[in-house]
Each structure stands twice: as structure tokens, then as C-alpha cells.
Structure 1
Amino acid sequence: MHVPDGFIDAPVSVAAGAVAAGAVAVSLRGARKELDERTAPLAGLVAAFIFAVQMLNFPVGAGTSGHLLGGALAAILVGPYTGVLCVAVVLLMQGLLFADGGLTALGVNITLMGVVTVVVSYAVFRVLIRVLPRGRGGLGVASFAAAAISVPAAALAFTGLYAVGGTADVSLSKVATAMVGVHVLIGLGEAAITAVTVGSVAAVRPDLVHGARGLATPLQIRHADGTTSTVTAGGGREVPAAPRGSRKVWAAGLAAAVVLAGIVSFYASADPDGLEKVATDQGIAAKQQDHGLGDSPLADYGVKDVGDARLSGGLAGVIGVGVTLAAGSAVFVAVRRSNRGTSQAARAASVPANRV
């Protein structure tokens, strides 16, 4: 659902940009409470993983494909504030390096794919996690439902923006019906990816899953040697568990992202995604403008002057994962350090001066 330049007029694009900037500013403050020494590196990895999986368009029928938006996945794994930042980093890298998503529409895309998906999915997730059975089963169901609902919600939000600032004279009822209809199907794919990813992390390190914190029922960990241990979702051990550093989770996640972007992406569906399909069918695509960075070396997820399509796309994917990981990690480590500095300053200020 990367909105290109030309679909939304300038006033609404500017307004959406202001909303996105405000959301990022609020998220930078909120992320200080969500991030710690363990989760700050994981947040950078989540951004890189979302970038990789977004390259994997999957077919949803009728010549249409879909891809992960990632808001629900990021919010559940690292928290809603950090989740907004993860998606914003991904969209920024895609727009600047790969000419994916318009430059003037960057605020629109962050608002739709970052803010709307995170807010909707995390609200649904928190409600469900309170009423579903505790443990990994309930966590998986809540993750699936939250992600599934977030995608058509973003599609409906796009229709709302288009109703105010759309540049083509089209039937809004047809746009809304088509957008929500196809994105309900895409949402099922998003839900499956989200539930599997969250469940995989929770199976080995439930303490790293933000959305699992506070669950009363501890999660069971089965180790490679066949032994099991009980670890609470907040990280507190009820039964001593074998040491299991987050570096292994980080390394496994990075390896998965590189393989997905560098190899599996070659086999992704070539059909237009939901927004592209609706825009073509409804006559909106005629308003699309060329991307300002369309001649960049990595435009359209290929390395310029590399003739082999498989190699070109694979290299672009790996470069994208690396750049997104570096940018995201830099942001989240900086946010974490600023929080630590603020806490230290507050503690120092609270200590009364020594009296002579």
C-alpha cells in the first residue's frame, strides 16, 4: 500500500505529513520507556525484517497481490511507540533508496502504514489478550486478529484521505468497496506472517515480546537438549532456565531477513498489489507522477548496471536489509541512550546538595 506521488493533492499530503511528524515525535518520547538494553537492538532488527518481508508479495487472487505492512508485527514485538518508528524507518529507506512510495506522499504512507496500523492493531491486541486464554495460544490468536484487522483499517483510512484530497474524479463508494475488499484478503496474509513471527520469538525468548509482558501464565521453553524450563512473559523465571542470550535471536532474525530479501524475494508475485490494482481499475493510476528518485542506483529493488535479474534483485534486497538495520539500530540505540541520560540527570537532581 505504498501511495505514490500524484494520488493525493498537496494540502492533504502536507496535513498527513504533519500528522506523521507529530506521531514520530510522540513515538520518540514513548519509545524511551519501551526500549532497554535487550530490546533496542531487536527493534532495529524488526525494521530490517519488515523491509525484507515487504519484498515478498503474495497472490490474493484476481491478478492481485499483497505484502506485509508490518505495523501489527512491530507493535506486538517491540511496543506501539517503537513500532511506529520501525515502520517509519522502513518507509523512509524505501522512498529514498528504492523509489518505492512517493516522496511527497511519505507522510501519507507513514500515517497509513505506520500510525493507523499500529494504533488499530495494538488496541485490538490489548483487548483480546485480556480475554483469551493465557499463554502462547492466546498470544497467537490475538496477534493474528490484530494484524488482520489493521490492514483493511489502513485501506479505509486511505479512502478517507482520498475523499478529501484525491486527484481523480472517481466513485468513492467503489474505491472504498474495492480497497477494503482486497485488503481483507491481504490482511489474512499479514495475520499469518505476524502470528508465526510473534509465536517463533515467544517460543524461545518470550521476555523479548513486548505484547507478552504481564501474562500471568508462564510460557514453556523447550531447549535443544530436550529439557524444558518455565519463563514468565515478563522475563521473570519461575524455574531456572538455561542461559539463552538475545544475540542468538538477533542472529537468527538477521539471517532470515537476508535470505528472504536476497533469495526468496525473486519468487514473489509479480501481480500489482492491492492499491495498484484498485488504482488501475478505478482510473486513479492515471494521476500517478514519476518518482523524484526514479533514477537512483537501487530504484525498483534492483542494482543498476547488474544485468542478471536474480542477482540484481538479491543484491538490492540484501543492501536494503543492511541499510535499514543500520538506520533503525542507530535510531533506537540513540533513543535508549537519551532515556538513560535523562534518568541519570533526574536522579542526580533529586539528590540534595551536601551541607557544609
Structure 2
Amino acid sequence: MHVPDGFINAPVSVAAGVVAAGAVAVSLRGARRELDERTAPLAGLVAAFIFAVQMLNFPVAAGTSGHLLGGALAAILVGPYTGVLCVSVVLLMQGILFADGGLTALGVNITVMGGVTVLVAYAVFRGLLKVLPATRRSVTVAAFTGALLSVPAAAAAFTLVYAVGGTTDVPIGKVLTAMVGVHVLIGIGEALITAATVGAVIAVRPDLVHAARGLGAPLKLRVGGELVDAPAAPAPAAAPAAARSTRAVWLTGLATALVLAGVVSFYASASPDGLEKVAADKGIDEKVEDHAAADSPLADYGVKDVENPRLSGGLAGVIGVGVTVAVGTGIFWTVRRRRADELTATSTAAPSAH
């Protein structure tokens, strides 16, 4: 659903940029509370994983494909504020390096693909967890539902933006019906990917899933015919260090992202995605503009002057994953370090008790 240059007029693009900048600023502050020494590098990995999976367009209807948006996945794994930043990093890398998503439309894309998806998915997710049993399966079910609803919500949000600032005269009712209809189908794929990924991480390291922390059910003992909570067993001395280690998860996740982007992406659907198909069918793309980075060595997810399409696309995917994980991890470590510095300064400035 990457909006290119020319779909939305300049005033609305600027306004969307202001909204996106505000969302990023709020998320930078909120992410300080979500990130710690374990989750900061994992947040960079989540951004790289989203980048990789977005290269895997899957067919959803005749002549139409879809791909992961990633807002729900990021929000559930690393928190809603950090999730907005993850998607923003991905969109920035895609726009600058791969000419995917217009640079003048970056604010629209961050608002729709980052802000709306995270807000809707996380609100639905938290709401369902309040009424479902406190189990890991409930987390997966809630993740599925939140992801499913976040995609058509983003499609509706784009239609609203287009209604205000669209550059062509197209009946908005037809655009809304077409956008929401096809993105409901894409949302099913989004939900399956999100639920499978969240379920896999919960199975091995539930402590690394932001939305599942503290979910473990206490052991029950039957005393006098009644079930009561068993006292917690003391943890082995080595357990805390083992629990803090994320190297295995990080390496496994990075390897998975590299394989997906470098190998599996070659087999992705070549059909236009939901927005592209609707734009072509309804005439939204009449005033589309050439991308400012169209001459980038990595434009269209291929390496310039590499003639073999499999090798060209694979190298571009690997480079994209590498750059995204590096930039994302750098940003999240900086946010985390700033929070730690503020806490240190606060504790140092506090008067000592006598």
C-alpha cells in the first residue's frame, strides 16, 4: 500500500507529513519506556524482518497481490510506540534506497501504514485480551484479529486522505469499496503472518514479546479441595543471565529475514498490489509522478548492472535487510541510551535521605 508521488496534492501531503512527524516524535518518547537492553536490538531486527516479508507479495485475487504492512506485528512484539518507529524506518529505507513509496508521500505512508495500523491493531489486541483467558493462545488469537482489522482500516484511512487531497476526480464511494474489499483479503494474509510469527516467538521466548509479558499462569495446587496458587520456586543462579540473552533469537531472526529477502522473494507474486490495482482500475494513478530515487542503484528491488534477475533481486533484498537492521538498531539503541541517561541524571540529582 505504498502511496507514490502524485496521488495526493501538495497541501495534504505536507499536512500528512506534519501528522507523521508528530506521531514519530510521540513514539520516540514512548519508546523510551518500552525499550531496554534486550528489546533495543530486537526492535531493529523486527524492522528488518518487516522489510523482508514486505518483499513477499502473495496473490489475493485475479491479478492482485498483497504484502505485509507490519504495524500489528511490530506493536505486539516490541510495543506500540516502538512499532510505529519500526514501520517508519522500513518506509524510509524503502523510499530512499528502493524507490518504493513516494518521498513527497512519505508522511501519508507513515500515517496510514504505521500510525493507523498500529493504533487499530493494538487497540483491538488489548481489548480482546481483557475478555479472553490469560493464555498464550489468546495472545495469538488477539494478534490475528488485530492484524486482520488493521489492514482494511489503513485502506479506509488512505481513502479518507484521497477524498481530501486526491489529484484526480474519482467517485470516493467506488474507491472506498474497492480499497476496503481487496484489503480485507490482504488482511487475512497479514493476520496469518502476524499470528504465526507471534506464536513462534512466544513458544520459545515469551519474555521477549512485549504484549505477552507477565502472561504465564501460576502453578495451581489442590489444598483442602480448593485450587490455590503454588509458591514460586527460586530461580537457579544462572537463569537471569540466560533469560537476558537474546543472541540466539537475534541470529535466528536475522538469518530468517536474509533468507526471505535474498531467496524466497524471487518467488513472490509479480501482480500489482491492492493499491496499485485499484489505482489502475479507478484512474487514481493518472497524475502519478516519477520517483525522485528512480535512478537509485537499488531501485525496484534490484541491483543496477546485475543482469541475472534472481541474483539482482536477492542481493537487493540482503542489502535492504542489512541496512534496515543497522539503521533501526542504531536508532533504538540511541533512544534507549537517552532514557538510561535521563534516569541516571534524575537519580544523581535526587537529594539523599538522612
Give the TM-score of the pair, scaled to structure 1.
0.92
The Cα shift of 1:133 comes to: 1.9
Show the counterpart of 1:141. 141
Show the counterpart of 2:86. 86
Q: How many residues align?
A: 338
1:60 alignment partner, SS class:
strand
The Cα shift of 1:353 comes to: 9.8
Show the counterpart of 1:260. 260
- Aligned residue identity for 2:188: L
Contact 1:257 1:321 in 2 (8 A): yes
Show the counterpart of 1:67. 67
CA distance in 2, matches of 1:38, 1:55: 27
- Aligned residue identity for 2:50: I
CA distance in 2, matches of 1:127, 1:238: 33
- Aligned residue identity for 1:70: G
Show the counterpart of 1:224. none
CA distance in 2, matches of 1:56, 1:129: 30
CA distance in 2, matches of 1:63, 1:111: 27
Show the counterpart of 1:325. 325
Deviation digits for residues 141-165 of structure 1 (CA, Å, limit 9, x no counterpart): 0000000000000000000000000
CA distance in 2, matches of 1:85, 1:337: 16
Show the counterpart of 1:276. 276
Show the counterpart of 1:222. none
Show the counterpart of 1:43. 43
1:110 counterpart = 2:110: yes
- Structure 1 residues 338, 237: CA separation in 2 closer, same or farther (over 3 Å shift)? farther
CA distance in 1, matches of 2:39, 2:301: 29
Deviation digits for residues 242-301 of structure 1 (CA, Å, limit 9, x no counterpart): 636311111110000000000000000000000000000001112110001101000000
Contact 2:136 2:215 in 1 (8 A): no
- Aligned residue identity for 2:123: A
Contact 1:57 1:269 in 2 (8 A): yes
Show the counterpart of 2:204. 204
- Structure 1 residues 165, 247: CA separation in 2 closer, same or farther (over 3 Å shift)? same
2:44 alignment partner, SS class:
helix
The Cα shift of 1:39 comes to: 0.4
- Structure 1 residues 306, 53: CA separation in 2 closer, same or farther (over 3 Å shift)? same
The Cα shift of 1:215 comes to: 2.3
Question: After the TM superposition, which parts of structure 1 deviate over 6 Å for at least 4 consecutive aligned residues?
Answer: 236-239
CA distance in 1, matches of 2:233, 2:305: 54
CA distance in 2, matches of 1:343, 1:175: 49
CA distance in 1, matches of 2:235, 2:145: 31
Show the counterpart of 2:127. 127
Show the counterpart of 1:96. 96
Contact 1:135 1:218 in 2 (8 A): no
- Structure 1 residues 12, 142: CA separation in 2 closer, same or farther (over 3 Å shift)? same
Deviation digits for residues 21-51 of structure 1 (CA, Å, limit 9, x no counterpart): 0000000000000000000000000000000
- Aligned residue identity for 2:289: Q
CA distance in 1, matches of 2:218, 2:100: 42
The Cα shift of 1:213 comes to: 1.8
Show the counterpart of 2:229. none
- Structure 1 residues 238, 284: CA separation in 2 closer, same or farther (over 3 Å shift)? farther
Contact 1:66 1:274 in 2 (8 A): yes
1:335 alignment partner, SS class:
helix
Contact 1:134 1:217 in 2 (8 A): yes
CA distance in 1, matches of 2:247, 2:112: 32
1:310 alignment partner, SS class:
helix
Contact 2:145 2:191 in 1 (8 A): yes
Show the counterpart of 2:52. 52
- Structure 1 residues 136, 352: CA separation in 2 closer, same or farther (over 3 Å shift)? closer
CA distance in 1, matches of 2:352, 2:12: 52
1:324 alignment partner, SS class:
helix
Show the counterpart of 1:189. 189
CA distance in 1, matches of 2:75, 2:173: 31
- Aligned residue identity for 1:177: T
The Cα shift of 1:351 comes to: 2.6
Deviation larger for 77-86 or 125-134: 125-134
The answer for unaligned runs of 5 or more in structure 1 is 220-235
- Aligned residue identity for 2:193: I
Show the counterpart of 1:7. 7
- Structure 1 residues 216, 348: CA separation in 2 closer, same or farther (over 3 Å shift)? same
Contact 1:20 1:108 in 2 (8 A): yes
Show the counterpart of 2:225. none
The Cα shift of 1:218 comes to: 5.9
Residue pairs, 1:163-178, within 5 angstroms: 163-178=163-178
- Structure 1 residues 17, 251: CA separation in 2 closer, same or farther (over 3 Å shift)? same
Contact 1:89 1:324 in 2 (8 A): yes
